[in-house]
Structure 1
Amino acid sequence: MKSLATALSSHLQRENTKLTTCWRVTRTDGLVQGFTSGDKQLVIGGVIYKASTGFSASAFAQDNSLAVRNLELNSALSDDSISETDLVGGRYDYARVDIFLVNWENPPTTLLVDPPNHILMISGFLGEVSLTDVRYSAEIRSFAQLLQQKIGTLTTQGCRAVFGDSKCTKDLTALTDNLTINSVTNNRQFTVSSGRGNGFFELGEVTFTSGENNGFKSTVLSFIGNQFQLFEPMPYDIQVGTTIRAVAGCAKTVGACKSYSNILNYQGEPHIPGEDRFLGGFEG
C-alpha cells in the first residue's frame, strides 16, 4: 500500500475529491514540460503545468508484477506546448513521462518529499506517436518494458561498432568539419564549401549547430560535388547561412576499416558462413 502525506490522505477520504491528473515530460535535451487535465494552471517544483491542453488518458491498471503496463495519452497539438514539427523531428524520442494525481486546490510544492503529496500513477518513456491534423496520440511505455529487451552481442559479418565509439576507438577529430550552408535545394539537399572529395561524408552524420534545426541530426545519404543529401528531411526549413557539423562515414566493412587504418578494432566476423551456406548444405 502506498504511503501518502496526511493532507492528501485525508482528502481522499472525502465523498467528493478535487483530484486532477498531471503529466510531466522530460526530454533527452533536458527540457521539462508540465500539463494537467484540469482547467487551472498549477506550479509544482518550479514546473508550470498548463491547463486546457485537451489532455485525456486511456484506462490504466497496475499491479505488483513485472508485466508491461502501457498507457495512451491524447492531446491537442500546439506551437507553444508540443508541436507536430517537434514530434516528427524526434525532439520527444525516449522522453521520460511521469503521470500523477494531485489535489488541485492544495497541490504539492515539490514532488521530492516523503511521504508524497501526490499519487504517482506511472513513470515511463514516450513510445509510438500517431498524428492527426490537430491532435496527437502517444503511447507511454512503462519501464518494465525494458526488461523485455534481449541483451547481448550478436554475431554479424559487418562491424557492430558505432564509428568513433569506445569499441571503434577511431579519433574523428580530423574527419569532422564545421561547415556553412551556401545554397538549399530542399529540406534534404543543400550545398556547402568543402575541400573533401565525393563520398567522404557518405553514411556519416550531420548535426545542425544553428538555425531552427539546431541540435537535429541526420545520416548522410550522399555527398557529391559539395552537395549533401540526407536520408530524411529536416523538420524545419533549412536556411542559407546555417552552420553544421559533418562527420565522415564508415561503411562498416573490412575494406572501410582498413582505409581508416583501424582493422584491429573491427567489431565483426566477416568470415563466418552466411545463411545461404547453411541452406545450400555442405560438400562432403
Structure 2
Amino acid sequence: MSRVWFKDEAETVATFWRVLRADGVTLGFTTHDRDLWFDGVLHRASPGMIPSSIRRSADLEPDSAEVRGAITHESIAAKDLIAGRFDGAQVRIGLVDWKTMENAVIYAGAIGALTEEDGGFSAELISRKAELQRDAVPRTSPACRAAFCGPGCNLNPQRYTHEVTLASFDAFSNAATFAQALDPANCAGGMLRWLDGPQTGIAMGIMAGDGAGGLLLDIPIDARTPLGARAMLREGCDHTLNTCAARFSNAANFRGEPFLPGNDLLVRYPGPVR
C-alpha cells in the first residue's frame, strides 16, 4: 500500500530531484540539510534548489514544472549549463522520508529551456505526457524520416561507428583532424562524442569537411582538449534514396516518399497535349 504523504501535521519529509544526463552522469539533490543515499544515488544537500511549481492533471495535457536555484554546488556549474551538458537530461522529482528513506516520484520529465541569471538558474521541465502529442501516423516526406542506424533504418550502428584520436584542431574554424583516415563526405551529418578531455561525454554534430581533411563541428572545441584525445565518431547520412541505395544498399528500409507528387501538382495549369 502506497504511503499517504503529509497526512500528519509534522513529518520527516524532504523534496528530492534527480538529473540523468545524456552523457551517463546521474546527479541527485535534496532540500534536506544533509546528504541522503537511496535508490543507489547520493542526493546532495542543496536547500537552495527547490521546485518552484508543479502542476499535474488527470487529462492528456502535459504537466508543467519549473525548478529554480543557485549555482552553488560543484555538480551544477555555469560552464556546464552553457556547454549543454544538461540539455535534454531526464528529471525525476519526488518526496523522501529522511528517516526511513521511503520515497516516491511525483514528477517525471526532461529539461527544456535553461536560463542563467545573476548566479542562479531556472529550468523549464517538459512532462513525459508531451510525447502523447506526437503524430501517431508519420507525415510524408521526400527524405527518409528514420534516424540513421536507428529504428526503421535497421543498419548496424557498430559498422559505422569508429574510435578516433585527435591529431590537431583549428580553433578559428572549429575543425578537427583525426589520426585515422576518414572520408569527410561520409562523416557529414554524423556525430562525434568525446571520450577524453574537458568535454568528455559531450556530443557534437559534424557539419561538413573543411577541405583539408578535417571535420567542421557545430560546438566549439575546448582549447584545453589535448592532442591524442579519443572520441567516438558515428558516420552521417543525407537521408536521400540515392544514398540509401548506392552507399548502404538499404533502399528496402527507406522511410520516405521521394516520388510522391507534391501540392504543386494540383495547381499546375493544364497544357496542350502533343
Q: Deviations over 1:131-160 (max 9, x none)?
A: 225222112233332222323222110122
Tell me: CA distance 1:282–1:155, structure 2 relative to 1, closer, same or farther (3 Å): farther
Shift of 1:230: 0.9
Asked if 1 retains the 8 angstrom alpha-carbon contact of 2:36 and 2:43, the reply is yes
Q: For the residues of structure 1 that align with 2:43 and 2:147, how far apart are their CA atoms?
A: 39
Give the counterpart of 1:77 among 57, 71, 75: 71
Asked if 2 retains the 8 angstrom alpha-carbon contact of 1:89 and 1:234, the reply is no
TM-score, normalising length: structure 2: 0.80
Asked if 2 retains the 8 angstrom alpha-carbon contact of 1:95 and 1:126, the reply is yes
Shift of 1:198: 4.7
1:161-172 correspondence runs (5 A): 161-171=146-156
1:132-211 correspondence runs (5 A): 132-171=117-156, 175-186=160-171, 188-211=174-197
Shift of 1:251: 1.4
Q: Does 1:262 align with 2:250?
A: yes
Tell me: CA distance 1:149–1:165, structure 2 relative to 1, closer, same or farther (3 Å): closer
Q: For the residues of structure 2 that align with 1:76 and 1:221, how far apart are their CA atoms?
A: 35
Tell me: CA distance 1:277–1:135, structure 2 relative to 1, closer, same or farther (3 Å): farther
| More off after superposition, 18-27 vs 217-226 | 18-27
Match of 2:90 in 1: 96
Give the counterpart of 2:8 among 13, 29, 33: 13
Give the counterpart of 1:27 among 10, 21, 31: 21
SS at match of 1:24: strand
Asked if 2 retains the 8 angstrom alpha-carbon contact of 1:156 and 1:268, the reply is yes
Tell me: CA distance 1:235–1:44, structure 2 relative to 1, closer, same or farther (3 Å): farther
Give the counterpart of 1:219 among 205, 223, 226: 205
| Runs of 5+ consecutive residues of structure 2 not aligned to the other structure | none
Q: Does 1:130 align with 2:120?
A: no
Matched residue count: 268
Q: Deviations over 1:237-265 (max 9, x none)?
A: 43211122333322112332233133333
Asked if 1 retains the 8 angstrom alpha-carbon contact of 2:49 and 2:68, the reply is yes
Q: Deviations over 1:147-189 (max 9, x none)?
A: 2232322211012222233433444655444322111212932
SS at match of 2:18: strand
Which residue identity lines up with residue 218 of structure 1 in the other structure? Answer: M
| Runs of 5+ consecutive residues of structure 1 not aligned to the other structure | 112-117
Shift of 1:46: 4.4
Shift of 1:227: 0.8
Q: For the residues of structure 2 that align with 1:33 and 1:49, how far apart are their CA atoms?
A: 7
Which residue identity lines up with residue 258 of structure 1 in the other structure? Answer: A
Q: For the residues of structure 1 that align with 2:144 and 2:101, how far apart are their CA atoms?
A: 50
Tell me: CA distance 1:237–1:269, structure 2 relative to 1, closer, same or farther (3 Å): farther
Match of 1:114 in 2: none
Q: For the residues of structure 2 that align with 1:130 and 1:251, how far apart are their CA atoms?
A: 33
Tell me: CA distance 1:18–1:177, structure 2 relative to 1, closer, same or farther (3 Å): closer
Shift of 1:18: 5.5
SS at match of 1:35: strand
Q: For the residues of structure 2 that align with 1:166 and 1:62, how far apart are their CA atoms?
A: 32
Tell me: CA distance 1:244–1:49, structure 2 relative to 1, closer, same or farther (3 Å): closer
Match of 1:272 in 2: 260
TM-score, normalising length: structure 1: 0.78
Asked if 2 retains the 8 angstrom alpha-carbon contact of 1:198 and 1:225, the reply is no
Shift of 1:31: 3.3
